[in-house]
A and B are shown apart, each in its own frame.
Chain A
Amino acid sequence: MTRAARRRAAAPASAASVLLVLLCGCSPPAGSAPAGSAPASASTATLSVFAAASLTDSFDALGRQFEEAHPGVTVVLNAAGSAELAQQILSGAPADILATASDATMATVADAGLLAAPAQVFARNSLEIAVPPGNPGQVAGLADFSKAGLLLALCAPEVPCGASAAAALTRAGVSPDPDTLEQGVTSVLTKVRLGEVDAGIVYRTDVLAAGGAVVGVPIPDAQNATTDYPIAVLAGAQHPALAEQFVALVRGSGQDALREAGFAAP
């Protein structure tokens, strides 16, 4: 009887506390520590790195390098479209480092005063046409992107890869006839990989990273657009010192890994 009464009383209260936890847990205030990290002790720390999707593999490797050199430190990589990452940070996502695939997206974060120090370019990337193995659409260059009979994927002009693709197409004097304008370079690549489109414009590094799943058709330098990859420590960083060291790694000995992935020197 008493137990039943207590349970009756406890249920709404515990439900309320669950909801409160949910409410608070969904968006921790910018200053709070991410779960699992202990800012008080220097030995264990979680470094949160927001990096453009095209950096996924290289930053994964660099993150492991960094963890080996700094025992107790865990590097958590959030790889997504640059514009999406910038938007997440503008909305208060807790992060230590931001690396984007364009100066323009970095500028939106810098303009909001969220960078600890000005961003520095650590790599450059150029574009390449990705086609499925066997090149079913017989795509030879940017000129093919005006063919209505081909299924073509580009990034939307609002995201960095789309802005670069638009610049390259303009330079080549081609007015494209795309079938889809994707939100990020990864989705363009996926559609090429699945053979659902005849060609897509992605970064050179994406073609390399995809291995044999897609084939690259080079874009001549005269038409190609290069993008800068800036990196910066964020003003709200939980571990500014560690973040500085990670940036030093990316700009220093980490350059080899980036070069291997197909990035050009800054």
Chain B
Amino acid sequence: MPRGLWIPAALALAFLVLPLVALIARAPWPSVPELVAGSLPALGLSVTTGLTTTALCLLFGIPLAVVLAGSDGWPAPLRRVVRAVVTVPLVLPPVVGGIALLLLLGRQGLLGRPLEQLFGVTVPFSTPAVVLAQTFVSMPFLVLAVEGAVRATGRRFDVVAAALGASRWYAFRRVTLPLVAPGIASGAVLCFTRALGEFGATITFAGSLPGVTRTLPIAAYLGLQSDPDSAIVLALLLLAVSLIVIVSLRDRWLRGSA
């Protein structure tokens, strides 16, 4: 490794760490317990919606990832379009994602209008809307992580399992899934932490109502406008939850690959 790499590497590390140091340094420690108690509803909402999002992403994202991993035989244009569609939420500003969701599922939306007229269901401004917004932005993280893992393991174990008489489902459950478990775990962690930090799509599509749709990032942003101390504490809470998830899961599930 060239010595010269150390300088930009150190700068990169400092750039990532120093803002967090500033956050911790500026925290109003004496009033932290009280402020944390005040933000428990937002914390609870963020954690439950984040977990629900992760579950949805696992349920629908793993199959999509497996399908994508086997897409090499598809016509090239189709493959490119599907890949672009999966990647778009990664690069799209989340606010744009929120507007798109509103235009799809809002009361005047493509699907939202029939939903309301036929079933009287309105999606925006509800906790499920928060989950949908989070799922939209975090699904690609899971899909790409799992697809990479599936591609890396290759198909030879499936072939062997089939040769030994395993059905496709059996091979998928007992061979493919365990082999890509580390990929699924890291994808799920990325997915959950991304959902936890979701702001733009949520506030656009789901709004901001305490206990219903006001997640930690939204509460932090609002707090910054009236009570910066509470915003700092909310930011610390987000940081703590993210760190707990990343550190504990890396040790437990990802020991081999870390």
Q: Which residues of A does B touch, CB under 8 Å?
A: 8-9, 11-13, 15-16, 19-20, 23, 81, 83-84, 86-87, 151, 153, 156, 158-159, 178-183, 187, 191, 194-197
Closest B residue to A105 using CB positions? B225
B11 within 8 A of A: yes
- B121 contacts the other chain (CB 8 A): no
* Residues A196 and B225 in contact, CB atoms below 8 Å apart: no
Is there an interface contact between A194 and B207, defined as CB atoms closer than 8 Å? Answer: no
Cα–Cα distance between A15 and B8 once the two chains are bound (Å): 7
Inside 8 A of A16's CB, which chain B residues have their CB?
7-8, 11
Q: Identify the 7 closest CB pairs spanning chains A and B, nearest first.
A: A180-B207, A83-B225, A158-B226, A12-B4, A179-B125, A195-B108, A15-B8
Complex Cα spacing A153 to B221, Å = 18
Q: Tell me the residues in window 80-99 of chain B with beta carbons closer than 8 Å to chain A beta carbons.
A: none
Q: Which residue of chain B is the closest to A136 with respect to CB atoms? A: B107
Complex CA–CA separation, A195 to B108 (angstroms): 6
- Known contacts A19-B8, A183-B203: A194-B209 contact under CB 8 Å: no
Complex formed: what's the CA distance from A12 to B1 in Å?
12
* 16 cross-chain CB contacts under 8 A: A12-B8, A13-B4, A13-B7, A15-B8, A23-B15, A81-B225, A87-B224, A153-B207, A156-B208, A158-B222, A158-B223, A178-B209, A180-B125, A180-B208, A182-B207, A187-B203
Question: Which of A9, A12, A196 touches B102 (beta carbons < 8 Å)?
Answer: A196
Which of B7, B106, B222 is A12 in contact with, Cβ under 8 Å? B7
Please name all residues of chain B whose beta carbon is closer than 8 Å to the beta carbon of A159 when the two chains form the complex. 225-226
Q: Is there an interface contact between B11 and A158, defined as CB atoms closer than 8 Å?
A: no
B77 within 8 A of A: no
B124 at the interface (CB under 8 A from A): yes
Structural contact, B208 and A182, CB atoms closer than 8 A: yes
How many whole Å from B200's CB to the nearest CB in chain A? 12
Residue B12 is within 8 A (CB to CB) of chain A in the complex? yes
**Which label, helix, strand, loop or mixed, suits the secondary structure of the B interface?**
helix
Q: Is B122 an interface residue (CB 8 A)?
A: yes
- B222–A183 CB distance below 8 A: yes
> CA separation between A197 and B108, bound complex, in Å?
10
Q: Please name all residues of chain B whose beta carbon is closer than 8 Å to the beta carbon of A156 when the two chains form the complex.
A: 208, 222
CA distance A178 to B214 in the complex (A): 13
Distance in Å from the Cβ of A42 to the closest Cβ of chain B? Answer: 36
State the Cβ distance, A57 to closest chain B Cβ, in Å: 22
A180–B106 Cα gap in the complex (Å)?
14
A20's nearest neighbour on chain B, judged by CB, is B11
The answer to whether A151 touches B122 (Cβ under 8 A) is yes
Q: How far does the alpha carbon of A191 sit from the alpha carbon of B102 in the complex, in Å?
A: 10
Closest A residue to B3 using CB positions = A12
Q: Which of B200-235 contact A (CB under 8 A)?
A: 203-204, 206-210, 213-214, 221-228
Central interface residue in B102, B207, B210, by most chain A CB within 10 Å: B207
Is there a chain A Cβ closer than 8 Å to B5's Cβ? Answer: yes
B218 (CB) vs chain A CBs: closest residue: A183
- Whether B209 and A19, one on each chain, are in contact in the complex, defined by CB atoms closer than 8 angstroms, is no
* B231 (CB) vs chain A CBs: closest residue: A87
The interface residues of chain A lying within 8 Å CB-to-CB of B214 are 181
With the chains together, A178 CA to B208 CA distance in Å?
10
Contact A181 B210 (CB under 8 A): yes
